[in-house]
Every structure is written in C-alpha cells, then in structure tokens.
C-alpha cells in the first residue's frame, strides 16, 4: 500500500536527536535543528534521546502495565471503555478497528485527568470527549505512575514542539495557541499478544496519527514499522530513547512541510507478547488548525497533504478527534453517540 504523500526517504535506520541540543536556538544548534527539520519533513519519524524522563518511572509504568494485563479478564473489564463516554479505560483484544479491520492488541487509555464538561443543548458534539479517567481498583500504584509519566512526556512534547517551530523559521511559541492551557492528551498502555494466539499479523493496521506529536516508549519486543515508499522500515527498541512521529494536525499546521507518515505494528512471533506505551499530544478541543506562513524555501518544498477521502482531516480539533474515536470504537459510539455520528459525518463533509 503506497500513499501519494509517503515518498521514499533516505533513512534505512531512523536518526536519533538529543533534546538537549535542540532546546535553545543558538548558532551551535543550527545543524541539529536543520537535521531535525529534514527528518520530520521526510520520514516523519525519529528517535529522541536526552529527553529527561526518568528511567525508573518508565520501568514503573511497564511494571504496572504488566500487572494490569495479567489480571483476569473479568477484572480488566470492570473499567472497560464501554463505561466511558470519553473513550477512556480498557479495550479488549480485537475491539478497536483500524481502517475497518480489528487490531490484535489490548490497551488502557488515559486522557488528561479533568472533570467532565458541563454540557448544554448548544454544546458541540465533541464536548463529551473531556472527562475523568477510569482507574483499576486492583492496582492503586497505576494512577500516580500514569499521571506522572503523562506530565513528564507533556513537558518533553512542548520542548520539542518549540524546537520544531524554530527549525521552521518561526517564533518558538508559534504553535502555543493550539495548546493553550488545556492540550488534549492521551496515554495508552498497550499489550500485543503473539501470533501463537491469532492468525492476524495486524497488531495495529497501517495508519497516520491524527494529533500534533506522538511518542512511543518501547519495551523489549520489536514490531513498530514506518512506511518508506513501497517498503517498511523497522523501528526497534533503543535504550534511553522515545520514538517520535509527526501527527496530521502538525502536518496541517506546518503547511504540509512536516510529514505525518504511515506506520503499523506487526504481531509478535510465537508466544511472545509486546508491551508498549504511546503518548499523543493534541491541540485543545476547541482549536482550529490552520497553516503557518513558511519561509519561501520551505514553502517550495512543502507537499500537499493527501488523506483518505473516506476519513478526511478536519481543521476543527474536537470534531476531528471525535470522528477518529467513533470509527475506532464502534461499541462506545453506539452506546453514547447514537444520533451524533451522522452529524459528525455531515460536518466532516462540510470541512473536508
């Protein structure tokens, strides 16, 4: 499956950048910023070292993740996302869809820990996305670990977003209005069962991420792949790093210069399973994402975004995120958003 805006790129191994070298725009840092811009423009993926997230915290996150996924099925389902109109909580294996096909993974989804919005008859359909998380009673250590990891990754994401802005010839805060004081956050604890338990190779199907930035914290087992033209490049775990990829909202905000690339996860071999943590930074729900004015040289190199006509990218953030969730979690959609899906589809057609 080739995509018109997924050209071949020069990497056979994704590059690594140190956040400490990107944090301030000085003459010394022009070269790393230029290399960062090139990687984000072509591959849309790279490793990030020097991020400052404590290894002990990452180890704790994988420990509580393993504890949760080892629970009996009935215990995990007590916080199933079917109980949450905010799409938070546990999703069992095969219950999430990518491009209409089932993903062979189970996961726990956590957003920013905020109260549910006060809704009115005039509230937009995406207002229900904001609200509290579900937490497992059996593992009390999970909540503080997840919230601390989410906070540390958010701090890293904001630093990296500023570095990307400077690399694009912008003021460091050019993307800050999209975030305001309430970015839309998502942190997933994920387990991919091995191929001995399924005939599906789809851990997660080929897709692009819809937000600004994604971080993947990998454990010991490989499986993540990024598209390179007609082929796929493996993105194996690398100690001390985060895997970073550009989301569609940042591609849109950068006028098509930064590249949201297609990626997937393949099912681990045999009885091996794969643990992973994915973090997503999105704009606040009420934001609209419009392109910045790029320097002429960068504008000339920007590519028009190509998106699935059946799943168009929308500049209204809340509407775009709700559309994505409704497609990925049809059972939650039927329970809490009956009558809304048609409205979302209609507004999507108006904004495509």
Cβ-in-10-Å burial (0-12, 13-18, 19+) of 171 comes to exposed
d(CA 351, CA 346): 9
Domain containing 104 equals: 16-351
CB neighbours of 297 closer than 8 A, spacing ≥ 6?
none
Q: Could you give the 3-state DSSP secondary structure of residue 260?
A: coil
**What backbone torsions phi and psi does residue 216 show, to the nearest 5 degrees?**
-115, 125
pLDDT at 199: 80
Does any domain span residue 11?
A: no
Structural domains of the chain, count: 1
In a domain, 9, yes or no: no
Residue 351: what pLDDT? Answer: 36
Alpha-carbon distance values, 42 to 8, 221, 262 (Å): 8, 26, 12
Listed residue (260, 258, 103, 327) closest to 193, CA to CA: 103
Q: What is the three-class DSSP state of 262?
A: coil
Q: Is residue 293 part of a domain?
A: yes
Q: What is the enclosing helix (H) or strand (E) of 30? A: helix 30-42
- Decide if 232 is inside a domain: yes
6 domain-assigned: no
Which regions of the chain does DSSP assign to beta strands (E)?
A: 16-18, 45-49, 89-91, 97-98, 101-102, 106-111, 184-192, 202-207, 213-218, 224-228, 231-234, 242-246, 263-266, 274-282
Which residues in the chain land under pLDDT 70?
A: 1-7, 23-29, 305-310, 341-352
pLDDT of residue 125: 87
Is 7 within a domain? no
Encode 96-118: b = buried (16+ Cβ within 10 Å), e = exposed.
bebeeeebbbbbbbbbbeeeebe
Q: What letter would DSSP give residue 113?
A: -
Query: Is 188 domain-assigned?
Result: yes
What pLDDT score does 198 carry?
Answer: 83
Closest to 45 in 3D by CA, of 291, 209, 290: 209
Closest CA to 43 of 2, 11, 4, 1: 11
Q: Measured between alpha carbons, how far is 157 from 6 in angstroms, rounded to an integer? A: 24
Asked, for residue 313, whether it belongs to a domain, the answer is yes
Residue 320: both structure tokens together: 């775009």
Specify the CATH number for the domain of residue 92: 2.60.120.330
């Amino acid at each position: 499956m080739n995509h018109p805006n997924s050209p071949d790129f020069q990497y056979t191994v994704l590059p690594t950048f140190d956040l400490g070298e990107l944090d301030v725009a000085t003459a010394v840092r022009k070269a790393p910023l230029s290399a960062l811009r090139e990687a984000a423009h072509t591959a849309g993926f790279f490793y990030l070292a020097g991020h400052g997230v404590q290894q002990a915290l990452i180890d704790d996150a994988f420990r509580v993740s393993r504890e949760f996924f080892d629970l009996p099925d009935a215990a995990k389902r007590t916080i199933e996302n079917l109980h949450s109109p905010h799409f938070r909580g546990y999703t069992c294996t095969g219950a999430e869809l990518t491009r209409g096909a089932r993903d062979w993974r189970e996961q726990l989804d956590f957003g920013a820990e905020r109260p549910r919005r006060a809704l009115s008859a005039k509230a937009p359909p995406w207002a229900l996305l904001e609200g509290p998380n579900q937490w497992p009673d059996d593992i009390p250590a999970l909540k503080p670990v997840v919230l601390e990891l989410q906070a540390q990754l958010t701090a890293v994401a904001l630093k990296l977003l500023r570095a990307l802005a400077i690399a694009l010839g912008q003021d460091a805060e050019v993307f800050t209005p999209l975030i305001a004081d309430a970015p839309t956050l998502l942190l997933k604890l994920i387990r991919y069962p091995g191929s001995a338990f399924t005939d599906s190779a789809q851990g997660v199907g080929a897709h692009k991420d819809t937000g600004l930035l994604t971080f993947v914290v990998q454990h010991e087992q490989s499986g993540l792949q990024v598209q390179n033209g007609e082929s796929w490049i493996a993105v194996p775990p690398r100690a001390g790093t985060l895997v970073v990829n550009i989301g569609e909202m940042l591609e849109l905000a950068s006028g098509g210069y930064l590249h949201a690339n297609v990626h997937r996860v393949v099912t681990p071999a045999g009885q091996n399973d794969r643990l992973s943590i994915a973090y997503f930074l999105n704009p606040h729900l009420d934001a609209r994402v419009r392109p910045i004015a790029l320097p002429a040289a960068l504008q000339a190199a920007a590519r028009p975004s190509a998106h699935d006509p059946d799943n168009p990218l929308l500049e209204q953030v809340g509407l775009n995120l709700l559309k994505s969730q409704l497609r990925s979690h049809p059972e939650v959609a039927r329970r809490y958003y009956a009558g809304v899906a048609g409205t979302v589809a209609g507004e999507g057609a108006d904004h495509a």
